[in-house]
């Protein structure tokens, strides 16, 4: 799981879903973009609460490629910082660099490991450049990024535009890459709300588990500090990043072969994204939940978020 959790609410919900789903084995969490140490603290508190403190968590690259990984001051944009404001009581961070850890895990389990990128792709971009054997060792990469419908709408999304050079490296590397539209798990694309309802949020608040306490704190911080929702105290969490887990589960997301190209953009202009269906294309893309499967995905999400850690 390669994530910028703390910036928005869906990352921590999706990490919790993966940690508490028997279909997944989370091998590592790498954080990316800006205050990666704060993001690492949130991730370490989360894995510990789910009884998996042994999972290595790495504070990864702070700045987009090709900038050096210089220290940067704490960012107020890590809105969930109160989830884990200090190191006390947390599992220690893993000291292996994020790109090296990705390469090592892929080498240890060739053909078995998928990297899920739900943030800027900087850590993975560096891994593929510095350790090119990783391309052949990975089973694949699944990314939430871009906004497209395969007809006439295509715009680069935040997870790609934060580091378009890294995204372009992944696209051209030869690794098996599935790119999912950021709107895939939204109600507009799926036909039904997949994210938590008001009743679901109340259930999280009242569940009384260590795991749900973390999620409730994160939801409150998101509501209080996220610019787009801070004036809406009852805003409901979205789960854009859930598309990656839904795709890996199978039977939820429609995908098809395509050609994907990411451009870094000229000075003063946004990076570009081209997504074109292509039966011979090297990539897979998806932008919608299979008809009739949205409710089942919502129910599975809430079942896992509300289940005690390790519950079947």
Quickly state the pLDDT bin for 60 (edges 50, 70, 90): very high
pLDDT of residue 73: 63
pLDDT of residue 228: 85
pLDDT tens figures, 101-119:
999 999 999 999 999 999 9
pLDDT of residue 123: 98
In a domain, 311, yes or no: no
In a domain, 312, yes or no: no
pLDDT of residue 135: 97
Average pLDDT over residues 274-278: 94
pLDDT of residue 104: 98
Average pLDDT over residues 258-276: 87
- What CATH number does residue 235 fall under? 3.90.245.10
pLDDT at 77 over 70: no
* Bridge partners, residue 256, by sequence: 285
Nearest to 281 by CA among 260, 261, 262, 259: 259
Quickly state the pLDDT bin for 200 (edges 50, 70, 90): very high
In a domain, 200, yes or no: yes
pLDDT tens figures, 81-91:
789 999 999 99
Average pLDDT over residues 208-218: 97
Q: Residues near 196 by Cβ (< 8 Å), separated by ≥ 6? A: 13, 204, 236, 237, 239, 301, 302, 305
What is 89-147 written as a DSSP string?
TSPPPP-S-HHHHHHHHHHHSTTT-EEEEES-SHHHHHHHHH-TTHHHH-SEEEEE--E
Residues above pLDDT 70, as percent of the chain? 96
Mean per-residue pLDDT of the chain: 93
In a domain, 20, yes or no: yes
Number of domains composing the chain: 1
pLDDT tens figures, 115-127:
999 999 999 999 9
pLDDT of residue 168: 96
pLDDT tens figures, 173-184:
999 999 999 999
In a domain, 54, yes or no: yes
Range of the domain at 203: 2-306
Give the distance, in angstroms, between the CA of residue 247 and the centroid of all CA atoms in the same chain: 13
pLDDT at 189 over 90: no
pTM: 0.95
Quickly state the pLDDT bin for 268 (edges 50, 70, 90): low
Average pLDDT over residues 282-306: 96
In a domain, 42, yes or no: yes
pLDDT tens figures, 144-165:
999 998 777 899 999 999 999 9
In a domain, 195, yes or no: yes
pLDDT at 79 over 90: no
In a domain, 115, yes or no: yes
pLDDT at 74 over 70: no
Give the Cα separation of 37 and 217 in Å (integer): 19
Average pLDDT over residues 20-48: 96
């Amino acid at each position: 799981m390669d994530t910028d959790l703390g910036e928005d609410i869906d990352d921590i919900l999706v990490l919790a879903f993966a940690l508490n789903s028997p279909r997944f084995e989370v091998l590592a969490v790498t954080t990316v973009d800006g205050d990666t140490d704060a993001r690492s603290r949130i991730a370490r508190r989360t894995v510990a609460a789910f009884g998996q403190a042994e999972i290595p968590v790495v504070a990864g690259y702070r700045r987009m490629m090709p900038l050096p990984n210089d220290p940067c001051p704490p960012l107020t944009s890590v809105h969930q910082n109160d989830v884990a404001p200090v190191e006390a009581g947390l599992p220690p961070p893993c000291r292996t660099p994020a790109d090296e850890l990705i390469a090592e895990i892929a080498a240890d389990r060739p053909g078995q490991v998928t990297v899920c990128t739900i943030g800027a792709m900087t850590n993975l971009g560096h891994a593929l450049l510095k350790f090119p054997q990783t391309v052949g060792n990975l089973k694949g990469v699944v990314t939430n990024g871009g906004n497209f419908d395969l007809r006439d709408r295509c715009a680069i999304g935040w997870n790609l535009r934060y580091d378009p050079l890294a995204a372009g490296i992944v696209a051209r590397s030869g690794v098996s890459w599935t790119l999912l539209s950021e709107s895939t798990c939204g109600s507009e694309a799926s036909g039904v709300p997949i994210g938590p309802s008001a009743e679901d949020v109340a259930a999280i608040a009242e569940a009384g588990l260590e795991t749900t306490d973390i999620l409730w704190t994160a939801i409150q911080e998101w509501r209080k500090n996220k610019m787009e929702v801070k004036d809406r105290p009852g805003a409901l969490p979205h789960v854009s990043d859930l598309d990656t887990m839904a795709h890996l589960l199978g039977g939820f997301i429609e995908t098809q072969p395509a050609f994907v190209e990411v451009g870094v953009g000229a000075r003063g202009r946004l990076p570009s994204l081209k997504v074109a269906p292509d039966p011979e294309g090297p990539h897979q893309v998806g932008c919608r939940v299979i008809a009739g499967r949205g409710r089942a995905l919502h129910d599975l999400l809430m079942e896992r978020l509300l289940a005690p850690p390790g519950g079947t």
